[in-house]
Structure 1
Amino acid sequence: MRYFDRRFYWGLLHPRLWGTWLAIGVLFLFGVTPAVIRDPFARALSRLVLRIAKKPIKVARANIRACFPEKSDVEVEALIRENVAQFVVILIAQAELLFRSKEHLRRRVQINGFENVKSARDAGQAIIFIMPHVWGIDYAGLRLNLELPMVTMAKAHRNELFNWFSNRIRSRLGGRVYMREAGLRVLITEMKQGNSFFYLPDEDLGPDQSVFAPLFATTKATLPVVGRLAAAGKARVMPVSIGYNDKSHQFVLTVLAPIEASNMAGKENEALALNKAVEEVITAYPEQYMWFLKFLRTRPEGEDSIYN
């Protein structure tokens, strides 16, 4: 089967997975806890995460300094602290996506710019939503799946129970989750059937077929494949931002205007357009981007790694 099988199987009860079951149970308890209580607890817990997550924080610090060299050390550390806090706030709430009602999800995630989606759907087009790795991405995917048919593609986790749990969440509303091994052809087939999906253009997939393009104050290797996918599936390409508001305890999801096909003509232009979209989405909520990812691993020839 090319897409994730969301059915339960007895192997998930193996004793080596009992620790994961315990963690999922804790997440379920947090999922039923009101956000007004859960969020302050998460912020307190984030102080512990700051002390123990040394390696990820080192990567985050390198990424932020590469992208924003104008920031002072004080500003960099403040951004990291808030980034970790937002990570914990969103992580411990995520089980609610599996069992809370559709009405609850609508209340939790406010949508702006949906007229852009409606315009494409009225024209019979699928949509490739451009969203880099942000903490609230699963909230964005499920909230949009309430309004239109969606599929997605994910990398399998080593822990099969966590793999089952996370993909049960993503496919809860009927959207299929394809493993990466399925390839891009399945996405073209899905688009031709009217299904939309998220594409995450910020991942560093190595130098092969990638193009270097500016990203903030640095340069990033970007895979220019979205233009061809959109053309093959007759789809529109729209960036999406999502950020959590601590005061209202809601996410704000904004669908931005479509990227013009002419702006993605040619690999260099497409890489530039994709990185500009990534910049726009990150700038909306810089404290909620996954800065711990090594998305700047591939460097231009002769340039040293920023992670040394």
Structure 2
Amino acid sequence: MSRAAKHFDRRFHLSLLHPKYWLSWLGIGLLVIFGLMPAVVRDPIARMMAHLVMHIAKRPIAVARANLKTCFPEKSEAEIASLIRENVENFVMILLAQAELMLKGRKYLRRRVKLMGYEHVQQARDAGKPVIFIMPHVWGIEYAGLRLNLELPMVTMAKAHRNGLFNWFNNRMRSSLGARVYMREAGIRALLSELKNDFSFFYLPDEDHGRDKSIFAPFLGTVKATLPVVGRLAQAGNAAVMPVKIGYNRHSRQFDLTVMPAIAPEAMQGKENEARALNHAVEQVILAYPEQYMWFLRVLRTRPEGEADIYD
């Protein structure tokens, strides 16, 4: 990995054959086997495995329950429990399928992910603009990124996995269509440079970056600390900002990927306005497929002064 470029090295290194990775290789081998299976066979297996996950993932499920109770105070305990079960099922189904993104070709990806709303992207491209796609942490985000990478040049930014083999595997998958994967340490300057080179990318605005630089804005049934940086980045890089939603359809066994109309630049003038606009975009994406959002993340960790920690 180059220290100057701060992007992930896709090359295979012999160090990845070290015995400490042998169990990880076994896991990757299982993912490859599942990735080669047709969805009609794999999905029922995944749903059965989800029952096991429900029993062993106590801490993540507790976080998910706290998020759901805070974001949807009107929902009953039974409704929240049902939503958690669906969420875990979708997690396992999509996890077991993801190796197909590296194993199968472009034609398969076009069939597997139904793309809608691309006319909004084309309008921006015709105007000479790259696109900053707004998508929170949803289970199908890898499918969204690679499907859009079939249509336009993309880069992305990711946090390094502590396991070196999984780090290599995940980022080989993310860059399999030519995208460059930057480390988070590369920062906003790297993304701005890529925008100026006509590359588009995903920005995940639902992460909690702490109190110092964030703005509290309405979010579902509560408020959320949001980092208002996209507006300035889009202005500096002459980019359009578009929310994207994706959901796995169990009946068609396809992903439905929709690019939504661009957020008006004036809606993001000022930090408070931008935080509200970003949270509203995240709400739209989540509410389209609430059972497929990563509710186990501590996205509401930072609370307003005097408000208790919801995860305590």
Return the offset for 1:79. Answer: 0.0
Q: What's 1:254 paired with? A: 258
Q: 1:135 aligns with which of 124, 136, 139?
A: 139
1:103 aligns with 107
Determine the structure 2 residue equivalent to 1:126: 130
Aligned counterpart, 2:116: 112
Match of residue 60 from structure 2: 56
Whether 2:179 is the aligned partner of 1:204: answer no
Distance 2:268 2:128 in 1: 21
Once residues 24 and 58 of structure 1 are traced to their aligned partners in structure 2, the CA distance between those partners, rounded to angstroms, is 28
Please point out which of 148, 154, 157 is paired with 2:152: 148
Structure 1 equivalent of residue 223 of structure 2? 219
CA distance in 2, matches of 1:307, 1:209: 22
Match of 1:10 among 11, 14, 27: 14
User: TM-score by structure 1 length?
Assistant: 1.00
Per the alignment, residue 235 of structure 1 pairs with 239
- Cα-Cα RMSD: 0.4
Determine the C-alpha separation between the residues in 2 that align with 1:77 and 1:5: 41
1:184 is paired with a residue of what secondary structure? helix
Indicate conservation of the 8 Å contact 2:136/2:285, yes or no. Answer: yes
1:217 and 1:202 mapped to 2: Cα distance? 15
1:179 corresponds, among 165, 178, 183, to 183
Structure 1 unpaired stretches of 5+: none
Give the total of aligned pairs.
308
Percent identity between the two aligned chains: 67
Alpha-carbon distance between aligned partners in 2 of 1:282 and 1:131, rounded to the nearest angstrom: 9
- For residue 114 of structure 1, report the CA deviation from its aligned partner: 0.4
Q: Deviations over 1:33-68 (max 9, x none)?
A: 000010011001100100110000000000000000
- Per-residue deviation, 1:183: 1.1
Query: 1:108 & 1:118 partners in 2: Cα distance?
Result: 21
2:270 aligns to what?
A: 266
| 2:11 match: secondary structure | coil
The superposition leaves residues 92-147 of structure 1 with CA deviations (integer Å, 9 ceiling, x where unpaired) of: 00000012010000000000100001001111100000000000000000000000
Letter in 1 for 2:231: G
Q: Which residue identity lines up with residue 193 of structure 2 in the other structure?
A: T
CA displacement at 1:18 relative to structure 2: 0.5
- Between the aligned partners of 1:105 and 1:14, the Cα distance in structure 2 is 33
Q: Unpaired segments of 5 or more residues in structure 2?
A: none
CA distance in 1, matches of 2:127, 2:236: 16
**TM-score of the superposed pair, with normalisation by structure 2:** 0.98
1:45 equivalenced with 2:49 (yes/no): yes
Q: How far did 1:208 drift?
A: 1.3
4+ aligned runs moved over 3 Å, structure 1: none
1:30 corresponding residue in structure 2: 34
Task: Give yes or no for contact 2:36–2:103 (8 Å, CA) kept in 1.
Answer: no
Asked if the contact 2:217–2:223 (Cα under 8 Å) also holds between the matched residues in 1, the reply is yes
CA distance in 2 between partners of 1:304 and 1:79 (Å):
24
